[in-house]
Structure 1
């Protein structure tokens, strides 16, 4: 890897217009004050950094569930998947990954499989690290059916600052583990609902890397 590739990451196309807006405002700020202009430069660089889209190396072993987002594991608890996904109304292990405004916000598929449902639901904008964010905040959920017929849900949740959830996939499409499927702008959270009996391999407070960090293993002995 070249030295500049360590610090300069490619930007996702969703960020182009935002960086352009930040840059235009920065030019106007320079007309007012050099100090304000340089503050604008810093914010423009941050905006570019926010929309970075680095390549990731996904583990190759079949049956692994990887993190869909960069961030910190904020919750691991039993919870019922969102009703709009049409999954059975039974509690499953939910792993929540909280993304700050400094994390990469490109979301990646936690498993390989067929997208059987995509459901958006408007809502509020509580701090995404709070437990009630899963139930009350704006969200977009995917149900993914893996090769053995089990279902896994991954839910994008808007946060206190986030105001736009973007999803690139539709029902019927096939996803590969670690494949990009969406992003959330400016701070948010991802929830993963593991199939019944699957045991998480991570702990609260652990740092996640989207598409790389293993959350669980579908083929491991279940907790039942």
Structure 2
């Protein structure tokens, strides 16, 4: 288990905060109960950051005709819907909700060329809000396979997730299962697949990024 690079700043800030509050408690000779409260609070905060930014090593099995899950979490949406930003037609939407306890690395569901990328500033509605996919801060990424099939996936910020990080841009080549981004402190990832795609999961299923097969083209 490794610590993800996106967590370095958060960890440093938490350690600095813990050092200051414990130093103040000791300087003013606070009673034993207060000191232990700050000791336990410090341990809790540091452990929380360590678990949130954990980066488990995963062996990725690439298959050209499969859609790998882009994130750890729970399947919350499987439905046909209108995709109005890029495809401008009906697509099959599959959405993964990531809670604060999930691994928050985002992975490419397919291998191909990034044919479209756009970052949208926006609101920070809760991730399950009906308008979060259109009103929240988000990125839209489209990857095209060699056979011409395109898959759109979207990182969406939530009420707690206030920073979306991405590592790809239009024109980049991406590998199935490789990291394409990170969302801090919970949110969701939406995928838009061709109508008729065989979905291998159901609503409520817990899925693992880079390991669970969501669908088959």
TM > 0.5 fold call: yes
Question: Who is 1:150 aligned against?
Answer: 149
Question: Who is 1:198 aligned against?
Answer: 197
Question: Who is 1:215 aligned against?
Answer: 214
Structure-1 separation of matches of 2:82 and 2:203: 19
> Could you tell me which of 78, 81, 100 is aligned with 2:80?
78
Aligned residues between the structures: 207
* Shift of residue 45, structure 1, vs aligned partner: 1.2
Q: Does structure 1 retain, via aligned residues, the 8 Å contact 2:114–2:169? A: yes
* Shift of residue 119, structure 1, vs aligned partner: 0.5
Question: Who is 1:65 aligned against?
Answer: 67
* Shift of residue 57, structure 1, vs aligned partner: 2.2
1:34-183 equivalences in 2 (<5 Å): 34-81=36-83, 83=85, 87-183=86-182
| Larger Rg, first or second structure (1 or 2) | 2
Structure-2 separation of matches of 1:186 and 1:19: 13
Q: Structure 1: which 5+ residue stretches go unaligned? A: 1-8, 219-224
1:11-26 equivalences in 2 (<5 Å): 11-26=3-18
Structure-2 separation of matches of 1:91 and 1:169: 26
What is the RMSD of the two structures over their aligned residues, measured on CA atoms?
1.2
Structure 1 residues 186 and 217, CA, compared in 2 at 3 Å: closer, same or farther?
Answer: same
Question: Who is 2:32 aligned against?
Answer: none
* Shift of residue 11, structure 1, vs aligned partner: 1.0
Structure-1 separation of matches of 2:61 and 2:129: 30
Structure with the bigger percentage of strand: 2
Structure-1 separation of matches of 2:103 and 2:10: 15
User: What do residues 57-106 of structure 1 show as CA deviations (whole Å, max 9, x unaligned)?
Assistant: 223332110110000001111223351xxx22111011000000010101
User: What do residues 7-59 of structure 1 show as CA deviations (whole Å, max 9, x unaligned)?
Assistant: xx201111111101111111122222331232122111111111111122223
Q: Does structure 2 retain, via aligned residues, the 8 Å contact 1:64–1:217? A: yes
Q: Taking structure 2 as the reference length, what is the TM-score of the superposition? A: 0.91
Q: Structure 2: which 5+ residue stretches go unaligned? A: 26-34
Q: Taking structure 1 as the reference length, what is the TM-score of the superposition? A: 0.89
